[in-house]
A and B are shown apart, each in its own frame.
Chain A
C-alpha cells in the first residue's frame, strides 16, 4: 500500500530559486527518508529524519517533519540544473515491520 504522497507531482523552477516538496503519510512512523532518482538511475538516499526530530539540514537540503500533521517537507535552496530529478519520501511505519512505504514522487525540473 502507498503511505506517502508527495506534493506537487511536478515542479518546474528557474535555476537559483528554492524548491519545496511536501510529503504526507497516514500512520505513525519511526522515521521518514528522502531519496532522489535521476532519470534512468537508481534512488539515492538524501536524508533521514527521526520521528522525534523536527528539522534536519544537509548542505543545501532542509527537511522538516511535523508528526502532528503527518507531513514532511524537503527544501532545496539555490537550485542547480543537476538537481533535476524525481524526489521520493519513504516512511518506516511503526507497524510496518521495518518496511519502507514509498510515495509516488515529485518530478523536479530546474530550468537553466
Chain B
C-alpha cells in the first residue's frame, strides 16, 4: 500500500479552469503538507495542516485553497489557473509538527496549464 498517495499524477488544463488535487496518507500521521516544485527543482512549502487545522499558510495566491476533511486527507483546489501555476505539486506528511520530523512524500502531480 502506498503510504502517501495523490491523484491525479498528470493534470493538463487550460488557463482559467478550476482543478483539484487529492491526497491521502495511511500512515496515521497528524501533519500534512502541500509543496510546489518549480522547473528548477526548488521546493517551496505552500500549506501545512496539523490534525485538520491550518498551521502554515505561505504567501500563496488565494486562488489556492486547501481543504482537510480529516487528518488523513489534504486536498488542494486551484481556481482560475494561470500559466505560472505549471509545476509539480507534492503532498507530504509527517508524524507530527515539530523538530526532527521527517517527511513522507507522494509521487507528485505534474500540472501543465496551457
Residues of A within 8 A of B (CB): 2, 30-31, 33, 35, 40-45, 48, 50, 86, 88, 90, 92, 97-100, 102, 104-105
Contact A104 B108, beta carbon cutoff 8 Å: no
Of B62-70, B73-81, B94-102, the stretch lying at the interface with chain A is B94-102
Q: State the main secondary structure of chain B at its contact with A.
A: loop
Interface residue ranges of B57-114 to A (CB < 8 Å): 90, 92, 97-108
Q: With A and B bound together, what is the CA distance between A43 and B50 in angstroms?
A: 21
CB contact under 8 A between A2 and B90, given known A31-B99, A42-B108, A43-B103: no
CB pair A42–B41 under 8 Å, yes or no, is: no
**CA gap between A31 and B98 in the complex, in Å:** 11
Question: Is A104's CB under 8 angstroms from B99's CB?
Answer: no
Given contacts A2-B42, A86-B41, A102-B42, contact A45 B97 (CB under 8 A): no
B15: A residues at CB distance < 8 A: none
A97 — which chain B residues lie within 8 A by C-beta? 56
In the bound complex, do residue B107 and residue A42 qualify as a contact, i.e. CB atoms below 8 Å apart?
Answer: yes
How far in angstroms is the closest Cβ of chain B from A49? Answer: 10
Q: Using Cβ atoms and an 8 Å threshold, which residues of chain B touch A40?
A: 107-108
Whether the pair A42, B4 counts as a contact (CB closer than 8 A) is yes
For residue B4, which residues in chain A have a CB less than 8 angstroms away from its CB? Answer: 42
Evaluate whether A44 and B43 lie within 8 angstroms (CB atoms) in the complex, with A31-B99, A98-B98 already known: no
Query: 6 closest A-B pairs (Cβ-Cβ)?
Result: A42-B105, A102-B43, A45-B102, A43-B105, A42-B107, A30-B99
In the complex, A40→B48 CA distance in Å?
23
Question: Given that A97-B56, A99-B56, A104-B42 are known contacts, is A41 also in contact with B107, CB under 8 Å in the complex?
Answer: yes
Nearest residue, chain A, Cβ from B9: A40
Known: A41-B108, A42-B90, A43-B90. A100 touches B103 (CB 8 A): yes
In the complex, the answer to whether B106 meets A98 with C-beta atoms within 8 Å is no
Tell me if A100 and B45 are in contact (CB < 8 A): yes
Q: Which residues of B contact A99 (CB under 8 A)?
A: 45, 48, 56
Question: Do the beta carbons of B103 and A45 come within 8 Å of each other?
Answer: yes
